[in-house]
A and B are shown apart, each in its own frame.
Chain A
């Protein structure tokens, strides 16, 4: 079946450190891939997306590349800030008329000054 696996957290980094959060997926067909972010006390917000192989999604300094050969969509940022502290969710949309998302378990990121 369709599933998303992302690295276990929590991840703790110092400000200006490099961030990688790994995400791999299992899916039939060609899903669209997403990263959502959840700041404390809030709902999820779309961070970036990629809809086909080799696409790179980017937003707010975050990037992720849709790698079909490795079924991965790793999230990266070159220099994290304290304000990036949040829970990050990788997700895939397995298509069909419903357009429902399957989410990974989430990775909590804490950035220390």
Chain B
């Protein structure tokens, strides 16, 4: 089982560059989300989606865009990278949005913006 797959695992960008972090899941999950993990901050929700064609903002959405054209994929786009976006990014999914649903996480993308 592949589960939740994130690519790339590591990325270095220069300030102002753009890039897309990829996330794919093969479990037919309706709910997908992006978190960033920073030291001493825990995980903070960036964007989420409750199904194909539906996205919404989380706690820290500025500087990021998402789209959900298929159930399987949920890419995260950085439009103009800034050093403040240096972080570890996690994609997560669950069968359906809801209070008791277990989240499945990818292994993360470590991003450095110089």
Residues of A within 8 A of B (CB): 4, 31-32, 36, 41-46, 49, 51, 89, 93, 95, 97-101, 103-106
Contacts and interface: CB of A to CB of B under 8 A. Distances in A.
Contacts of A104: 42
B90 A93 contact: no
6 contacts: A32-B100, A89-B43, A99-B101, A100-B45, A103-B43, A103-B44
B4 A89 contact: no
Most buried by B among A46, A98, A106: A98
A107 B36 CA distance: 17
B66 to A, nearest CB: 14
A97 B99 CA distance: 8
Interface residues of B, number: 29
Contacts of A100: 33, 45, 48, 58, 97
Q: Which 7 A-B pairs have the closest CB atoms?
A: A43-B105, A99-B97, A105-B42, A103-B43, A103-B42, A99-B98, A44-B105
Nearest to B56: A98
B110 to A, nearest CB: 10
A99 B44 CA distance: 14
Contacts of B56: 98
B103 A44 contact: yes
A68 to B, nearest CB: 15
B4 A93 contact: no
B50 interface: yes
Contact of A105 (B40, B45, B100): B40
A43 B4 contact: yes
Interface in B81-114: 90, 92, 94, 96-103, 105-108
Contacts of A99: 31, 94, 96-99, 101
A105 B41 contact: yes
Given A42-B107, A43-B90, A44-B90, A93 B45 contact: no
Contacts of B98: 97, 99
Contact of A46 (B31, B35, B99, B103): B103
A43 B94 contact: no
